[in-house]
Amino acid sequence: MNALATGTVCAQVKIPEEYAKLIKHRGEITAFGNEGFGDKVDLGSGGLQIVQTDVDLPGNNAIPVRVSRRFVPGDKYGGGHFGVWSLDIPYMHGIFANHVYNPKGWTVPESGADQYKRCSLFSAPPELYFQGGLFWPDEYWQGSFFHLPGGGDQELLSGGLVPTDGNAYPISTKDGAAVRCVALASTSQSGSQGDGFEVVTPNGLIYTLNQMVSRPNAQISKPIGDMGLLKGGVWSKQSANAPPPEPNAAIKLCDLHLERDKSLAVDSNHGQRWPSDHT
């Protein structure tokens, strides 16, 4: 009696062949698409920025764990943690006056401690009188914004549709985020005080922005003094029985940022260390 044995025959596999499969997708050529070099164009403002991600780790929730850097061409004051690049993280920002009568930057038109209630009494910054010149908010402030990586800047708006969960939300954004108030962290820039922000996005993510930092920006100036209009539209300075005022008044501006508390540390060969738990 003859019997035919059955079985599975396996071909021999060589290690180099398996390794080639492992790295195959890394050698494939694909189209760059619209953002092949990290460049992003804001179709609303026409602004250009370049974003590069250096580290991207898998996480256990919807918040990405990555280190990205952002470059804005033409912004000579935009250099930050990576030379002319800045960390691309969630933050709030705006351009505010920073001089002897308003050294803390982001304030509102109130007195005493209330001037630092930038969230609960959210409004445009105050007008400032300095060196004989009056500077109105719309001359140096273009709005306050919430920046979210991948989502660009959203202007902070007073009021709007907000959750009805018992919390006060004095601020909202056009994309549906609601903003409530928290205290600044004790580790904020020296001299900082008042409100920080907590942003609740439509998908339920919460960003606590309570670290205040600032960096210098351009100085703004304007002519001052009594002016008379002559025939033909030529301006003439007039003064009577008094020394002529200074020809220009100027205030220094600062770019203020509110960021999150941080815990993930990043070291560089420049000898600096930047912690972050949200990038």
> Rounded to whole angstroms, what are the CA distances from 154 to 174, 177, 178, 255, 258?
7, 9, 12, 16, 14
pLDDT score, position 276: 42
**Six-digit token pair at 159?**
């009021």
Q: What is the mean pLDDT of each run of 10 residues along the chain (279 residues)?
A: 51 63 57 59 70 84 82 67 81 80 76 92 87 81 89 89 90 94 87 91 91 81 56 36 43 62 45 42
- What letter does residue 25 receive in the DSSP assignment? H
Could you tell me if residue 57 is left (phi over 0), alpha (psi between -120 and 50 degrees) or otherwise beta?
Answer: beta
- Predicted pLDDT of residue 97: 82
d(CA 257, CA 249): 26
Q: Which amino acid is at 142?
A: Q
What is the distance between the alpha carbons of residues 153 and 125, in angstroms, rounded to a whole number?
19
Helix (H) or strand (E) holding 17: helix 15-27
In the prediction, which pLDDT does 271 show?
44
Domain positions in the chain are: 33-89+261-279, 92-224+250-259
- Pinpoint the alpha helices (H) of 54-173: 137-140
- Listed in sequence order, the residues at least 6 apart from 268 whose beta carbon sits closer than 8 Å to its beta carbon are 81, 82, 274
**DSSP 8-class letter at 82:** B
- pLDDT reported for residue 37: 60
Report the C-alpha gap between 154 and 173 in whole angstroms: 6
Q: How many CA within 13 A on the CB side of residue 157?
A: 14
**Cα 267 to Cα 96: distance, rounded to the nearest angstrom:** 31
Position of tokens 């205290």?
183
Q: How many CA atoms lie within 13 A of 203 on its CB side?
A: 5
pLDDT at 250: 57
- Are 90 and 278 spatial neighbours (Cβ–Cβ below 8 Å)? yes
Q: What is the pTM of this model?
A: 0.69
